[in-house]
A and B are shown apart, each in its own frame.
Chain A
Amino acid sequence: MATTSAPPLTKKDFQSDQEVRWCPGCGDYAILSAVQAVFPELGIPRERLVIVSGIGCSSRFPYYMNTYGFHTIHGRAPAVATGLKTSRPDLDVWVVTGDGDALSIGGNHLIHTIRRNVGLKILLFNNRIYGLTKGQYSPTSEMGKKTKSTPYGSVDYPFNPLSVALGAGATFVARSVDVFQAHLKATLKRAAEHQGTAFVEIYQNCNIFNDGAFDGMVEKATREETTLYLEHGKPLVYGAAKDKGIRLDPRTLELEVVPIVGGVLPDDLVVWDETRSDPAIAFMLAQLEPPAFPTPIGVYRSVSRPTYEQRVIGQIQAQQDKKGTGTLEGLLYSGEVWRVETDGSIVRQGTGSLE
């Protein structure tokens, strides 16, 4: 198909003519802005970009993007997107979902899409609350969360989205934050480059039903003390003064914070390697949370593995190379076939197999 010609696309080219209807102050605006800023830089013609979403506040996303878009049903965006990407691998397909959409009603599709390594970018906006249904606790709400549906506090343990993705065998896993625009854009670009399922959890503030859920880490005053930036090839160090590091205690096999004195890095700090084939350390990092630990953000895992659609097309290609593309005659006039002649006599015509 012909591609759109120069001039190069700008952020404005990705803004649709529809009025954005999220609550003023919602973190979704920042994410929308970051995506609209990143898309022109991908070098992908606009008509090849597709955004598929489920149901929830975040899932209104496609309406505000001037690309192809499909606002589907609750929890099912990964399934719809799997059908689209498998049959149209030429498209760049992004799934936008939320914590309820992806991890509650759509949990099954999420894990199976990740396990297959379908070439989708999955952006999970995690605000730890149900917004569109007006404030019930979600599968990522912290234990004890008081909401309209849990007036005495929720009594179930939350999901950690990154752990779910890692457990399902994700080949790319990252976390970013709505208000960390530069980090978010860089993370989105990394996701865009990945072949296979790229899973990105984005902390997103719901200022109506769960305001300040991530205040501890996003507030400028404390940000550097509570956030650990994962950088490939670099030791895990954080703090405004770069005075804390993360090491693996060889005895307990647990991560622990160690002080960095005088700028001298202990030589047993974990040096971050996002390409490790064993996801164990990534999984351990995903468990870290304040107050004892910082919240790690960035790329947790990035490994290369053939995608689902590549394997599907590979099989089709291999069969076509072997057998040709098939004819209707070969399809229908196969198996046990016989002819009834005009004189009523019967002639067997062979037992060709359907394949």
Chain B
Amino acid sequence: MMLPVIADAENQEARPPATAQEPLHEVVIRFAGDSGDGMQVTGGQFTSTSALVGNDLSTLPDFPAEIRAPAGTLPGVSAFQVRIADYDIHTPGDAPDVLVAMNPAALKANLRDLKPNGVVIVNTDEFVPRNFKKVGIEKNPLEDGTLDGFRVFKADIATLTKRALEDSGLDARSQERCKNFFALGMCYWLFSRPMEPTVEWLEKRFAAKPELAAANVKVMKAGYNFCDITGLFQVRYEVLPAKLEPGTYRNMNGNLALALGLVTASRKSGLPLFFGSYPITPASDILHHLAPLKSYGVTTFQAEDEIAAVCSAIGASFGGALGVTATSGPGLALKQEAISLAVMVELPLVVCDIQRAGPSTGMPTKTEQADLLQAMFGRHGESPVPIVAPASPADCFDAALEACAVATRHMVPVILLSDGYLANGAEPWKLPALSDLPDLAVEFRTDPQGFTPYLRDERTLARPWAIPGTPGLEHRIGGIEKQEGTGNVNYEPQNHERMVQLRAEKVARVALDLPPLEVDGDPEGELLVVGWGSTRGAIIGGVNAARRAGIRVSRAHFRWLNPLPSNTGDVLSRFDKVLLPEMNLGQLALLLRARFLKDVISYTKVQGRPFFRQQVFDKIVEVLGGSNGHH
């Protein structure tokens, strides 16, 4: 049976009628080149400009772990995919419509993803036998039929760049490095974008070297004019602004959003932020974003290792700071003993795990969601912690606020599970009104009357936060089992069991303040698609496509993985089938099955890249027996 291919638009209702001359509702462009070719910058500039034009957008940077693999080889290929649209979108797109390939390696690595009849823009200068050898091809792919079925536009980009800079006085190497801006200029022409934002950006970026700014501007304009003059493309496209809600926007990636969320939490709680971290891909940018924010009272501590990073945050938290650490899977493994200490001493702590493909070093720059069970169970003893997972790049801001709120109100370590896709992907973020930001005020215990360190709040079971420097509250905490209430060292069997249960109950009670699991679509029916974390966009895309094909399907997304919303069992029970796509081998599926005895259908992808909407759609159709929704 032929499965329908999903339409371009995720949500037909949101799709405005086509009125412009050569309009597109959306386009997916992938810039690909050598890791030294500046493809991330090129993609980033195209994205920023498109945001300012008013498009909705979503990006997917895809770069190698090697800083500079040998030039022209497949491992050295760096790519940046951006999807721009005139309506509300949730993913960076399944397959590119346009591929910019700066060399044969970039073409070879990315061509298989391009849509049929897609546009290929190639830098012909690099298509020489020497480079074919590097990627193991015999003949020139521009001539051997490889590109049959695509629309190919050739430009000798390197030569044209050099020509544009003939009189610049720059050396050959510096001239060569401008060529990505020629390609950017071509794309600006093809998609009718203004060049001013990039001109401004270049002038600021190279303020100290105005000759470089001028050279890049000149090359970009040369690329733009090249298209204008040569008539290389017969058509010119336009993607009109999306109907975004009125408000102030900023293009936002996950790691920056997370950093901003942490500083905001610091301000709203009145607690100085102490961020202890050890560099690790893809989490390091959080440290980079926070380090310059010293005027906000932020202390960043680049520790000697992952363990010191988390321990320093715990020490800071003991002293009354907002103690936070960030890492990726291997670092989380190293931090787990210390997180158990925070569980035992019941101090606030936020641990951000920007997940990447594992195990071990795995694929450090590629995304995955395979640390869920590590976050749940990767510690010794009964050591439960609340876990929150943001669903989009900008959502990392809210997730950070929530993680800090739960940590400080419930006196627990909280793990925040982001991933490489969210960390580096970007989307327009409607900035919150400052008056809408939650109050996270924290009260330290100051009254010595009746104080013991393990007294508990009746509702949350949180113990008091009594910080050193407070007269009369001198007390000792530590990793040894505590006597209930007094916090004194205690080895009694009944007390230990009681404390284990109290710590578990304390985490369970976090659910008291969590919103219920919301169902998008019918509240009951044949199929519910659930997900968590960064898969939300692809799931929304697949589900909406299914609905357009007449399939009745509902959707729900978990934000808190521990504790789960209190209505979870009820929601799952109201559907015949529950489908759960996740980027691991079925970790949340395992938890839901164990907890609710629901035979969740696990759909997994562990390729280091996100689900496609098409994949989710196809799976929905398959789960429903290919019946295509005629219920």
Question: Chain A interface (Cβ within 8 Å of chain B)?
Answer: 1-4, 16, 18, 45-48, 50, 52-53, 55, 62-63, 65-73, 76, 79-88, 90-91, 108-109, 112, 312, 315-316, 318-320, 322-326, 328-329, 331-342, 344, 346, 348-349, 351, 354-355
Contact = CB atoms under 8 A, between A and B. Distances in A.
B434 interface: yes
Given A46-B471, A84-B468, A346-B52, 9 more contacts: A70-B315, A72-B314, A312-B299, A316-B294, A316-B298, A331-B260, A331-B293, A337-B250, A346-B241
B315 A331 contact: no
Interface string B170-197: 0000000000000000000000000001
A325 B431 CA distance: 21
Contacts of B264: 328, 331-332
B470 A47 contact: yes
B243 interface: yes
Interface of B: 48, 51-54, 197, 200-201, 204, 241, 243-251, 260, 263-264, 267, 272, 274, 276, 289, 292-299, 301, 303-305, 307-308, 311-321, 323, 337-338, 341, 345, 431-432, 434, 437, 468-480, 488-489
B295 A325 contact: yes
B315 A340 contact: no
Nearest to A88: B319
A76 B338 contact: yes
Contacts of B294: 315-316, 318-320
Contacts of A47: 468-474
A326 B294 CA distance: 9
Contacts of A62: 476, 478
Given A83-B315, A88-B469, A337-B431, A326 B476 contact: no
Contact of A354 (B54, B267, B274, B289): B289
B248 A338 contact: yes
Interface centre among A55, A68, A334, A354 (most CB of B within 10 A): A68
Contacts of A331: 260, 263-264, 267, 293, 296
Contacts of B243: 344
Contacts of B250: 332-338
A339 B241 CA distance: 12
Contacts of A2: 471
Contacts of A325: 295-297
B470 A337 contact: no
Contacts of A312: 299, 301
Contacts of B251: 335-336
B204 A109 contact: no
Interface centre among B315, B474, B477 (most CB of A within 10 A): B315
30 contacts: A1-B469, A2-B471, A18-B476, A18-B488, A55-B479, A63-B476, A63-B478, A70-B318, A71-B479, A73-B341, A76-B311, A79-B303, A79-B304, A80-B311, A83-B274, A87-B321, A88-B320, A108-B308, A109-B304, A319-B295, A320-B294, A331-B263, A331-B267, A333-B250, A337-B431, A338-B54, A338-B250, A340-B249, A348-B52, A354-B289
A324 B295 contact: yes
B293 A52 contact: no
B474 A4 contact: no
Contacts of B471: 1-4, 45-47
Chain A interface, DSSP helix/strand/loop, else mixed: mixed
Contact of B305 (A108, A320, A354): A108
A196 to B, nearest CB: 17
A82 B308 contact: yes
A286 B111 CA distance: 66
Contacts of A351: 200-201, 204
A86 B437 contact: no
Nearest to A309: B299
Given A70-B315, A71-B476, A331-B260, A336 B48 contact: yes
A46 B200 CA distance: 58
Nearest to B248: A339
A109 B295 contact: no
A87 B274 contact: yes
A72 B321 contact: no
Nearest to B480: A71
B206 to A, nearest CB: 14
Nearest to A66: B474
B35 to A, nearest CB: 25
Contact of A69 (B295, B320, B321, B477): B477
A70 B470 contact: no
Nearest to B431: A332
A83 B276 contact: yes
Nearest to A52: B315
Nearest to B304: A112
Contacts of A55: 479
A336 B197 contact: yes
A108 to B, nearest CB: 6
Interface centre among B241, B274, B316 (most CB of A within 10 A): B316
Contact of B478 (A72, A324, A342): A72
A160 to B, nearest CB: 21
Interface centre among A53, A88, A333, A334 (most CB of B within 10 A): A88
A63 B489 CA distance: 8
Nearest to B321: A87
Interface centre among B437, B478, B488 (most CB of A within 10 A): B478
Given A47-B471, A71-B476, A355-B292, A87 B299 contact: yes
A83 to B, nearest CB: 3
Nearest to B272: A87
Nearest to B294: A319
Contacts of A48: 468-469
A333 B540 CA distance: 29
